[in-house]
Amino acid sequence: MESRLRASPEQFSLLIEFMESHGDLSRPQMGLQGKVRSEGLWQELAEILNAVGGGINKTADKWKRVWSDWKTKTKKKASVINRDIHGTGGGPSRGKPLSRLEERVLRIIGVSSITGNQAVQEAGFQEEPQPQVRHAADTTDTVPSLVDETEFTIIEIAPESTSTSVPVPDITVPPNRPDSPVPGPSNCRTVQRERSPISPGASTPRRHRVRQRRLRQTPFDRATSEFVAIEKNRLRLEQERETRQHNLDMERLKIEAERVKMEADRVRVEEARLAIEADLLASNQTLSSQITSLISLLETRDLRPS
């Protein structure tokens, strides 16, 4: 259990909440889609647990091992407490009681808690259905103890029930118990069904707590909400940027149009200047030729004999 000791309490709490929301992911999944979905949930759980500050980082396979070891240790601890309570003479367990996280582990894997004098314990601890049937079929000396445990639990809880009355004579066994035939697995299941009407009233607060935990946002839901808010803000800023860019482009086009207009006016002014210069040059040439002609005429007159 070295891997479990290194994990932080917050990581174990998130692990429990994820299992309560999605069920025991270590159970065999039916079909290819079920296996793919299970692997995806394990990967998602590993990312959530690795994101916890002050904790440890593990791969999805290593977190599977942590969950498996935790379940095994919790079931062993609950089995020891159950034997102490329902053993010879009864009485409270001599070991440490189950913690709240361990009781939640038992509820997730389908195993009830145990009956006793502990403050936070619940009635009706049982092993998983399949191991019970195999154990009863293999050994005959352990089946009576299983029925005796069921009888002890019913006798102890029956006075607390006000809405449902369970007839004790129909369930208890006469004192000459060793002479009776060994009951099979079906008898064990029958006794367990006789005790089931008591559980709804006692488990109502538990269902209320489970409902509250389901309504409460998980770290993944909170991260998703934050991501959606960030994405909406990014889209809003992107739209504002595009609007500003469009306005800037329109202003640039207006300025460019003014520049083109001014350039056209400059070209017209330049053309007019060139035309005026050409006219002046032509006028100067004409005037120069006329002056030259006049000078020639005057010189000719001066050269005549008087």
Q: How many domains does the chain have?
A: 2
My answer on whether 159 and 221 are in the same domain is no
My answer on whether 211 and 230 are in the same domain is no
121 vs 256, higher pLDDT: 256
Question: Contact 161/194 with Cβ under 8 angstroms?
Answer: no
My answer on whether 10 and 118 are in the same domain is yes
Question: Contact 105/71 with Cβ under 8 angstroms?
Answer: yes
Question: Contact 23/41 with Cβ under 8 angstroms?
Answer: no
Question: Picking from 67-81, 116-130, 259-273, which range would have the lowest pLDDT averaged per residue?
Answer: 116-130
- Indicate the pLDDT class of residue 96, thresholds 50, 70 and 90: confident
Mean pLDDT of 231-243: 93
My answer on whether 166 and 94 are in the same domain is yes
My answer on whether 173 and 244 are in the same domain is no
pLDDT attached to residue 185: 43
My answer on whether 207 and 287 are in the same domain is no
Last residue of a domain, one of 199, 216, 233: 216
Counting other chains too, the contacts that 139-142 makes at CB distance below 8 Å and 24 or more residues apart are 140/182
Considering Cα of 117, then 122, then 128, then 133, what sign does the dihedral take? positive
Cα separation, 50 vs 57, whole angstroms: 5
Cα separation, 286 vs 4, whole angstroms: 114
Question: Contact 115/124 with Cβ under 8 angstroms?
Answer: yes
My answer on whether 224 and 212 are in the same domain is no
pLDDT attached to residue 244: 93
The secondary structure of residue 207, as a DSSP letter, is H
Could you tell me what percent of the chain has a pLDDT over 90? 25
Considering Cα of 182, then 85, then 76, then 52, what sign does the dihedral take? positive
pLDDT over threshold 50, residue 242:
yes
My answer on whether 189 and 243 are in the same domain is no
pLDDT attached to residue 290: 92
Whole-angstrom Cα Rg for the chain: 48
Last residue of a domain, one of 216, 247, 265: 216
- Indicate the pLDDT class of residue 181, thresholds 50, 70 and 90: very low
Range of the domain at 36: 2-216
My answer on whether 56 and 111 are in the same domain is yes
pLDDT attached to residue 279: 92
My answer on whether 241 and 199 are in the same domain is no
Question: The pTM is what?
Answer: 0.35
* Segment 295-306, tens digit of pLDDT: 988 888 776 665
Last residue of a domain, one of 216, 239, 271: 216
* Segment 28-76, tens digit of pLDDT: 888 888 889 899 999 998 899 888 888 888 898 999 999 989 889 988 9
The CA-based angle 299-303-306, given to 5 degrees, is 130
pLDDT attached to residue 12: 87
My answer on whether 6 and 81 are in the same domain is yes
My answer on whether 189 and 54 are in the same domain is yes
* Segment 185-224, tens digit of pLDDT: 444 343 344 444 444 444 577 777 767 766 777 788 888 8
pLDDT attached to residue 175: 46
pLDDT, averaged across the chain: 71
